[in-house]
């Protein structure tokens, strides 16, 4: 059975591209379009992995990540932040919030995401 990934991304266009990348390597993907929905989805139906954008309406990805890492139900789920915010300070904030990896959205993002999934043992 395919592992399930929860993608928290407010841009429908980017969500579709990321979902396609993840599905191309055999993962099932659910999408939440904002932080509160992402947290609720993760708690109610814990995925194998969460891919999280930083720029989200109502609650940013750093806040979402901290809340998920503090919740006993979701604290052990790997979180990969995939975002346009690529400054070193943003990366440090993401990792301090508990993200397992922080990937800038650039031309290498898909390859980086897949290699991170392999390192985390999500992909063979």
Domain boundaries, the chain: 4-106
How much is the pLDDT for 115? Answer: 94
- Tokens describing residue 104: 């800038």
How much is the pLDDT for 124? Answer: 76
H or E stretch covering 6: strand 4-8
| Mean pLDDT score of the chain | 94
- Does the pLDDT of residue 61 top 70, yes or no? yes
- Does the pLDDT of residue 101 top 80, yes or no? yes
CATH ID of 4-106, from 3.20.20.100, 3.40.50.300, 3.40.50.2300, 1.20.1250.20: 3.40.50.2300
- Nearest to 21, CA basis, from 97, 87, 100, 113: 113
Q: How far is CA 44 from CA 30, 32, 74, in A?
A: 13, 13, 10
Q: What pTM does this model have?
A: 0.94
DSSP 8-class letter at 83: E
- pLDDT tens-digit readout, 16-45: 999 999 999 999 999 999 999 999 999 999
């Amino acid at each position: 059975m395919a592992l399930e990934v929860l993608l928290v991304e407010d841009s429908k266009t980017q969500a579709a591209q990321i979902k396609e990348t993840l599905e191309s390597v055999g993962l099932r993907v659910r999408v939440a379009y904002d932080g509160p929905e992402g947290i609720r989805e993760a708690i109610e139906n814990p995925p194998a992995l969460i891919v999280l954008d930083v720029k989200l309406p109502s609650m940013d990805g750093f806040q979402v990540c901290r809340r998920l890492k503090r919740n006993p139900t979701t604290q052990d789920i790997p979180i990969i932040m995939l975002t346009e915010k690529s400054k070193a300070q943003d990366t440090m904030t993401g990792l301090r919030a508990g993200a397992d990896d922080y990937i800038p959205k650039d031309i290498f993002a898909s390859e980086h995401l897949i290699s991170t999934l392999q390192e985390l043992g999500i992909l063979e």
